[in-house]
Amino acid sequence: MTDPREVAVIGLGNMGNPMAGRLIAAGHAVHGYDVGVEALARFQAQGGFGHPDAVAAAATADVVILLLPDSTVVHDVVSRLRAAGLPRPGSTVIDMGSSEPMQTRLVAEALAGDGVRFIDAPVSGGVSGAEAGTLTVMAGGPDELVARFTPLLSRLGAVIHVGPLGAGHAVKALNNLISATHLWMTSEAVTIGEQFGIAPETTLRVLNGSSGRSGSSEAKWPKFILTGRYDSGFAARLMLKDAKIAARLADELGMPTDLGEQVVQLWAKAVEGLPAQADHTEIARWIQERANTVAPKAGGLA
């Protein structure tokens, strides 16, 4: 299939803007909308066509890409589009945000009744990956449809067809539940080591040369935490949201997730104590500050 010429991107935040920019650079006419005036201005500065609302942005698009905060917002935007007779029959909606898998199937079913196709294709790789076009794109949907849009999605990163509708959102949430677990445990381990007199850099060097390594020890701690930047571009509340989606999916499937539930509870406590827009890497600082409020126990032999 020839790449769609007219593409709409609804949601131009930290991820949406660089992703839209790559589509613009690839020669697509990209129409965009975001509730944030500054985000829309950045999009237009890249050569995108800004619009005052989602309906106007989607009016001529062959493909409508959604990069929205959650399933509730997806339902709202899709409802407003459908009320306006959009997207047009024969077009395709691609939900690239982090939505709930079961809700994704309901949205797809509603759109199918309008003659509109749907795939879910959330991403992982952060803002740097969005800028470089090195994201992992987790596509869920029928084989033929995913194959049809793989050339378009490949402009954003490596496309993996993970399964049927909703599978992309499922595996994205599961990935972030694991990522949240890694970051929490790595931060606790580094903090415990520091309390014992081991420099954080030393603990990380050992972890990264051993079986305890993860994306948190290899990338997040060195780049965003040790430097004091805490600016990965992914909010703590969004990490918590994705972890909750994964735990809820397990519950909907009748499967226990003991550790997953504990991770959700721990992150919920931390997010409650952090600023509303705190980066997810600030969890490490929260853990460190909590440890510093506890007097160290005396060591030595009895």
The Cα 285–Cα 277 span in angstroms is: 15
Q: What is the tens place of the pLDDT at every residue in 2-21? A: 566 899 999 999 999 999 99
Residue 196: how many CB atoms within 10 A of its CB?
10
Mean pLDDT for the chain overall: 94
State the pLDDT confidence band at 300, using cuts at 50, 70 and 90.
Answer: very low
Sign of torsion over alpha carbons 10, 12, 14, 15: positive
Please name the CATH architecture into which domain 170-292 falls.
Answer: Orthogonal Bundle (1.10)
**What residues are paired with 119 via a beta bridge?**
94
For the chain, the distance separating the N- and C-terminal CA atoms, rounded to the nearest angstrom, is: 75
pLDDT in tens, 194-218: 999 999 999 999 999 999 999 999 9
**Is 80 exceeded by the pLDDT of residue 272?**
yes
Sort strands 135-140 and 123-124 into parallel, antiparallel or unpaired: antiparallel
The closest alpha carbon to 78, from 11, 158, 18, belongs to 11
Domain assignments of the chain as residue spans, ordered by start? 6-164, 170-292
Give me the pLDDT at residue 294, please.
72
- For residue 1, pLDDT over 50 is answered with no
Q: How far apart are CA 177 and CA 84, in angstroms?
A: 37
Is there a common fold for 6-164 and 170-292? no
Rounded to whole angstroms, the Cα distance separating 189 from 149 reads 43
| Residue among 36, 32, 55 at smallest CA distance from 44 | 32
Q: What's the pLDDT score for residue 103? A: 96
SS (H, E, C) 152-186: HHCCCEEEEEEECCCHHHHHHHHHHHHHHHHHHHH
Q: 0.85 exceeded by the pTM? A: yes
Q: Which residues are catalytic?
A: 172
Q: Which tokens hold the place of 278?
A: 């705190």
**In terms of Cα–Cα distance, which of 89, 273, 245 is closest to 172?**
245
Largest CA distance in the chain: 78
Fold (CATH) for 6-164: Rossmann fold (3.40.50)
Task: Please provide residue 301's backbone torsions phi and psi, each rounded to the nearest 5 degrees.
Answer: -80, 150
Instruction: Please state the rounded mean pLDDT for residues 158-167.
Output: 98
Pick from 270, 82, 242: nearest CA to 175: 242
In the 8-state DSSP scheme, what is residue 216?
I
* DSSP H/E element including 285: helix 282-292
Average pLDDT on 256-284 reads: 96
For the stretch 82-127, pLDDT in tens is: 999 999 999 999 999 999 999 999 999 999 999 999 999 999 998 9
